[in-house]
Amino acid sequence: MQFDLLRHTLLLTVGGSRAYGIHTATSDVDVKGVAVPPRAILHGFLHRFEQVDKPKHLVPFAPLLSPEERAAVATSKLEGVVYDLRKFIGLAAEANPNILDVLFCRDAEVRLATPLGERLRAARPLFLSQKCRHTFAGYAHAQLKRIRTHREWLLHPPKEEPTRTAYGLPEGGGVLPRDQLGAVDALMERGMTAEELGLSTSALELLQREKFYRSARTHWEQYQHWKVTRNPARAALEERYGYDTKHGAHLVRLLRMGKEILTTGQVHVWRGDIDAAELLAIRGGAWDYDRLIAWADDIEVELEGLYKTGGSPLPREPDRYALDRLCVDLVEAAIVAG
C-alpha cells in the first residue's frame, strides 16, 4: 500500500454470511469498506487506487472486529475488500448486491464509520432503483450456473481428455489463433456468409471442429480444476444432496432480496428475523435439487412481471447527478480532513 489504509477508510462493515445472520461457527470473516486515498494519489499519475483485497492489507482492521470474529480470523485469515469511494458509488448506483450490503447492513455489522462514512450510509436511499431486478437475479443466476455445472460434473463427469485427433484436427497449434477464430464467429453471427468471408465449405467445417474442440478443452480443464480445488466440506454437501446446497441457499437469499427491494423499496440484509432459519435449512439439504430449480423459475417469472408492469415504488434508474454531487462532496471533505 502507498498510504495508511485504516486512516483513510470512511466505512467498514462485516459482510457475507455474518451480515446475513446465516453464519456458522466455522464461517470466515469478510469485511467490506470504503476509503478516499490521499490527495497525492487522487491527483497524481504514479499510483492508482481502486480497491484492495489482499488479506495482508486488511490486517490493520482486525482490532476493530468483535472478540468472536477475531477468534475466527486467528484460525484462518481476514478477507474482504476496501473500495475507493468513487468506484464504490459507481457500483452502488448499478445496484451491485455486494455493495448495497455495505450501505444497508445493520448498525451491528458496522466496525468503523467516520462522520463521512455515516453520511454515505444516510444517503443510501439514493442508490435504490429497479436495476435491482437484474442485478440480484444476475448474481442468483451465477449461483445457479455453478450449481448446474457442478451437478453435471458430479453425475456425468467427463470420461476422457479431449484430443485434437478426436475432432479431426491436425496436431500442433490451432487452425486459427483464438482471437481470429472469435472474430470469424462474430462476423458470422452478424450475418456474413462463408463466401463473403472467403471461406470454403471445408475450411468452415474445420473452423467449426476447432471451435468445438476448444470448448470441450475448456470444459475439461475447468472440471479438472474443480476436482483439485473444491472445498472438502462443499464436496461432501454435493455428494450427499446432489448439488452445492450452500450455493442454493445464497441463490434463494438473492432472489428473495431482489423481490423485497423491487416490491417494497426496502433492503433487508440481515435475515435473522426473516428467513435465516430456512436458509440454513436449505444449506443443510432441506430442499432437493428439483425443488430449488422449480422455485427459482417461479420467482424469476414473478420478478419479470413486476418489472414489466411497473409494480415497484422505485425509479427505473437512480439519480446519477445527485449521486455524483454526493461523491464530490465526500471526496472534497475527506481531502480537507486529511
Question: pLDDT for 164-195, tens place per residue?
Answer: 888 888 876 665 566 555 665 665 566 656 56
Q: What angle do CA 316, 319, 321 make, to 5 degrees?
A: 150
Q: How far is CA 7 from CA 20, 61, 193, in A?
A: 27, 10, 60
Quick one: pLDDT at residue 35?
Answer: 98
- Sheet hosting strand 51-52, strand order edge to edge: 51-52, 78-84, 29-35, 9-15, 110-113
Quick one: pLDDT at residue 186?
Answer: 66
Quick one: pLDDT at residue 168?
Answer: 84
Question: How large is the average pLDDT for residues 69-87?
Answer: 94
Q: Could you tell me if residue 1 is inside a domain? A: no
Q: Do 90 and 20 have their domain in common?
A: yes
Q: Could you tell me if residue 285 is inside a domain? A: yes
Q: Do 42 and 110 have their domain in common?
A: yes
Q: Do 68 and 153 have their domain in common?
A: no
Q: Could you tell me if residue 3 is inside a domain? A: no
Q: pLDDT band at residue 322, thresholds of 50, 70 and 90?
A: very high
Q: Which residues pair with 51 in a beta bridge?
A: 83
Quick one: pLDDT at residue 86?
Answer: 97
Distance CA 270, CA 272 (A): 6
Q: Do 285 and 176 have their domain in common?
A: no
DSSP-derived letter for residue 286 is -
Q: Residue 35 in contact with residue 10, Cβ under 8 Å?
A: yes
Q: Which region among 141-145, 201-205, 318-322 has the lowest average model confidence (pLDDT)?
A: 201-205
Contacts of the segment 293-301: beta carbons below 8 A, 24+ positions apart: 293/144, 295/252, 296/140, 296/144, 296/251, 296/252, 296/255, 299/255, 299/256, 299/259, 300/137, 300/255
Q: Could you tell me if residue 4 is inside a domain? A: no
Write down which residue in 229, 252, 284 finishes a domain.
Answer: 229
Question: How large is the average pLDDT for residues 299-305?
Answer: 91
Quick one: pLDDT at residue 288?
Answer: 95
Which is more confidently placed, 261 or 190? 261
Q: Do 272 and 207 have their domain in common?
A: no
Q: Could you tell me if residue 278 is inside a domain? A: yes
Distance CA 254, CA 258 (A): 6
Q: Do 72 and 188 have their domain in common?
A: no
Averaged pLDDT of the chain: 90
Query: Is the pLDDT score of 299 beyond 80?
Result: yes
Question: How large is the average pLDDT for residues 45-64?
Answer: 93
Q: Do 74 and 216 have their domain in common?
A: no
Q: Do 53 and 41 have their domain in common?
A: yes
Query: Is the pLDDT score of 208 beyond 90?
Result: no
Which is more confidently placed, 306 or 298? 298
Q: Do 118 and 148 have their domain in common?
A: no
User: Phi then psi for 194, rounded to 5 degrees?
Assistant: -60, -40
Q: Do 121 and 48 have their domain in common?
A: yes
Q: Could you tell me if residue 39 is inside a domain? A: yes
Q: Do 256 and 122 have their domain in common?
A: no
Is the Cα torsion angle 124, 126, 132, 135 positive or negative in sign? negative
Containing domain of residue 114, as a range?
A: 9-128+318-337
The number of distinct structural domains making up the chain is 3
Write down which residue in 229, 249, 264 finishes a domain.
Answer: 229
Q: Do 15 and 121 have their domain in common?
A: yes
Percent of the chain with pLDDT over 70: 90
Classified as helix, coil or strand, 125 is helix
Quick one: pLDDT at residue 176?
Answer: 57
